[in-house]
Structure 1
Amino acid sequence: MSQTIRVDIPHQLHRAQARARIDSKIGRLADKIPGGATVEHRWDGDSMHFTVGAMGQTVACRLDVEDTHIHAEVGLPAMLALFAGKVREMLEKDGPRLLA
């Protein structure tokens, strides 16, 4: 069964600054995934929709830039749902680095 992870990452930036920092660093996400990965993204207003493809799986994600936080949603397919806890930990730990 697939699983959606939701995490809020606080920030103290203007929305445009938060968007710019995320946009400039999203490509680094592929380096964090073992076995090689592809990352494709697009903006729809203040929401970034992106997919991460690795090891034959595709993970659909969304980042919503709000005034005080980034709301992240990661949809893990059934085969990767086992790793939901580790993915949540990584988002909480490394997510703020996208804004630094």
Structure 2
Amino acid sequence: MTRPLVVTVSHDLGQEQAEARLRSRIDSVRRTLDSYKIAVLRESWTGNRLDFAVRALGQTAEGAVDVFDDHVRIEVRLPWLLAAFAERASGLLRSRGKLLLGHEGGERKPGA
């Protein structure tokens, strides 16, 4: 049985620019996951959607990142063992998502 974890990150970049930033910064995501001992098993883009699978603690989680004009929606289906870490994972996804999109706090920096 899996538990869905859904995180949204607001932005004001437009879909095209947000997707371009995510695509260009995907290697930093891998490095971050690696530091948490999480292996990326699969990732594939179809239009504005990234489907992925990761493995941690011997468990596989699958999910998707959907890029929209004003937000990014991240959904991860966590197996029961990993669901215990859902709250921490939610915070990590939110903070890393903001950094990947190029801003912190969900607001555009002055002059940006």
TM range (shorter): 0.7 to 0.9
Deviation at 1:36, TM superposition (A): 5.1
Query: 1:46 pairs with 43, 48, 69, which one?
Result: 48
What corresponds to 1:23 in structure 2? 23
Name 2:96's counterpart in structure 1.
94
- Residue 107 of structure 2 is matched in structure 1 by none
Runs of 4+, deviation exceeding 3 Å: none
- Alignment partners' CA distance in 1, 2:17 and 2:41: 21
Matched position secondary structure for 1:35: coil
Deviations 1:20-78 (A, max 9, x none): 11112223223223235225211122111111223322211211111110011011111
Larger Rg: 2
Alignment CA distance shift 1:40-1:24 (3 Å): farther
Q: Per the alignment, do residues 82 and 42 of structure 1 end up closer, same or farther by CA in structure 2, a change over 3 Å counting?
A: same
What's the CA shift for 1:97?
Answer: 1.0
State the one-letter code of the partner of 2:21. Answer: R
Q: TM-score, normalised by structure 2?
A: 0.78
TM-score with structure 1 length normalisation?
0.86
Q: Secondary structure at the match of 1:53?
A: strand
Structure 2 unaligned segments of length 5 or more: list them: 103-112
- Percent of pairs with identical residues: 35
Q: Supply the distance in 2 between the matched residues of 1:35 and 1:64 (Cα, whole angstroms).
A: 24
Q: Which residue identity is paired with 1:35? A: K
- Asked if structure 2 preserves the Cα contact closer than 8 Å seen for 1:50 and 1:62, the reply is yes
**Are the equivalent residues in 1 in contact too, given 2:14–2:68 (CA < 8 A)?**
no
